Amino acid sequence: MSSVPDRSEIDREYTWDLESIYATDDDWEEAYAAVNDRIEELAAYEGQTTDDAETLLAIFELRNEIMREVSTVAAYARMRRDEDTTNQEYQALTARSQSLAANAQSAASFIEPELQTLTREEFESMTDEQPALDTYDHYVDDVLRMKPHTRSAEVEALLADLSEVTGATGEVYNMLSNADMSFPTVEDSEGDAVEITQSNFTNLLKRPDREFRERVYEGYFDEWAAVRNTVAASYKNSVKADIKTAQARNYDTAREAALDGPNVPVGVYDTLVDSVNDNLDKLHRHAELKREALEVDELRMWDLYMPLTGGEGPDVDYDEATEYVVDAVGPLGEEYQSRVAEGLESRWVDVYENEGKQSGAYSGGTYDTQPFILMNYQDDIASMYTLAHELGHSMHSELTKDEQPYVYSSYEIFVAEVASTVNEALLTNHLLETVDDPAFRKAVLNEFLERVRSTLYRQTLFAEFEHEAHRLEENGEPLTADRLDDLYHGLKESYYEPAHVDERIAREWMRIPHFYRAFYVYQYSTGISAALAIVDGILPDGAGGESDCDAAEDYLEFLRRGSREYPLELLRIAGVDMSTSDPIDRALSTYGDRLDEMAALLE
């Protein structure tokens, strides 16, 4: 019987080094208490933000010190919880750190409303008096830009206090899907019982035994059917919270509020959806190629994850994957490459699935820690690509920290997903250039096609779903489980027209945790579009060609800039203009070309 190991069974070298943050939980408690005591120190400055240049600088510096420590305290607690989401002790630490963060945000909430009483000229005058304030020029520009949507200090403090409550639906969903839900075991072709988990579900749908895939598919989605009303209520209230918060900040829609934060025009969202819908014929062709490759009369939803090669694909163990990824990022320069290698040797990555572990993958860490990557590595090509993806995020953070002060050390998701997907594209080029085995090469080409399908197309489908869900709620239409199922089913039929779209797939929206961070997923689609354009610049002749050092340096400069400019301006540094459909159209054109290559290979 296939089983998921207990965490104690995982070798230490394959776990992340959280002891580098706090050696013990007692050290965490000390850090928690220390920063908690300082929060009132910041709150005491309320009403003084614009008194004089010296006071303003003192407030900025104190807030930075507190928020840096709060973020580290919170990151440690969250990552300890994610090691085993059933662990009550770390659930409690996470809850406490979330309260701490909310209290800190509340204490700091007076700063931006008070800053907005300044004019641009008045801030420049203060900078003349205290030149150290010049560091905050872009930050202040962003604050002043948001003046129409910032409320009084009293209301801002209330909104900060309510952040725990408005975000509670996501926490409820996380506990339900990762800690409380369990999925059935199904029998494989050899008679062995295989346990379905959140982490291995899509991997199981790549098994060549079609009847096994069907049993996995049905067992998994039938489990979601048992909680559909709970999940629908959770998501409905998450949508309501998005809308109410947007209204509190004087926005017409939740989408407008979400995109205005990073200063991305809503036209970028609409252009993405329009461009993808104009190119659904390519996705339909991919589906038809898959039907032919599998030699079935009708493509079913449990067939979608099957590779065009028809098999499970070659095994790639973790150590082998790290070698491929390190070699692949060579075009970005020796320094970038060596830091990736160092990180992999320094326990950045928590590699394997264990009982109760948070599903999926992410890159975490803070300004004052090393990067940390959570994975559920499955010894396959897809997991290798996920490793490259998360290392892209981690290196983005590292390069930003090298060059930027804390105030610009974070970056918007809109640009973050570019850094991760550039690594994926470099990996594809490297593997096609260096691997001779025909089966492996087909698997790599298939992985590229699947990445575009699951990122550019699938995430845009998700973007359409959440936009329409918010629009329905904003128009007073109830978001019941049935209505959400119907909405999702209709989109799935449009995107996968050549396939049979059954009723179980209508529940797929329930398994997407990103929906609890509204209007997030479209950035995966814009990110892969921008990334493919950047790699075209770095490797203008494709796999095997000479890399363009200037284009690589432009890209690295983009990474180093953090959030010192707005997202569209940052991408222009890397040579990409996301205000147009050009990067999306180019990415979809590349997808079409690769479909042609695969079709020829399959013949």
**Using CB atoms within 10 A of its CB, is residue 334 exposed (0-12), middle (13-18) or buried (19+)?**
exposed
Cβ-contact 275, 267 below 8 angstroms = no
Is-contact 595 289, C-beta < 8 A?
yes
Q: What is the largest CA-CA distance in the chain?
A: 77
Residue 195 backbone dihedrals phi, psi, to 5 degrees: -80, 130
In 3D space, the residue among 210, 212, 213 whose CA is nearest the CA of residue 297 turns out to be 210
**Catalytic residue at 390?**
yes
Helices (H), 84-133: 88-108, 111-115, 120-129
Residue type, 130: Q
Residue whose C-alpha is closest to residue 31's, from 62, 74, 63, 64: 74
User: How far apart, in whole angstroms, are the C-alpha atoms of residue 506 and residue 57?
Assistant: 53
518 neighbors 256 (Cβ within 8 angstroms): no
Q: What are the DSSP calls for 199-250, one per residue? A: TTHHHHTTSS-HHHHHHHHHHHHHHHHTTHHHHHHHHHHHHHHHHHHHHHTT
Q: CB 47: neighbour CB atoms within 10 A?
A: 10
Q: What are phi and psi of 362, to 5 degrees?
A: -160, 165
- Asked whether the beta carbons of 1 and 193 are under 8 A apart, the reply is yes
Given 112, 114, 390, 424, which residue is catalytic? 390
Please tell me the distance from the alpha carbon of residue 540 to that of residue 525, in angstroms, as a whole number.
22
CA 535 to chain centre: 20
DSSP result, 374-420: E----SSHHHHHHHHHHHHHHHHHHHHHHHS-GGGSS--HHHHHHHH
360 forms bridges with which residues in the sheet? Answer: none
Taking the alpha carbons at both ends of the chain, their separation in whole angstroms is: 38
Amino acid code (one letter) for 35: V
Q: Which of 415, 414, 397 is nearest to 406 (CA)?
A: 397
The set of catalytic residues is 390
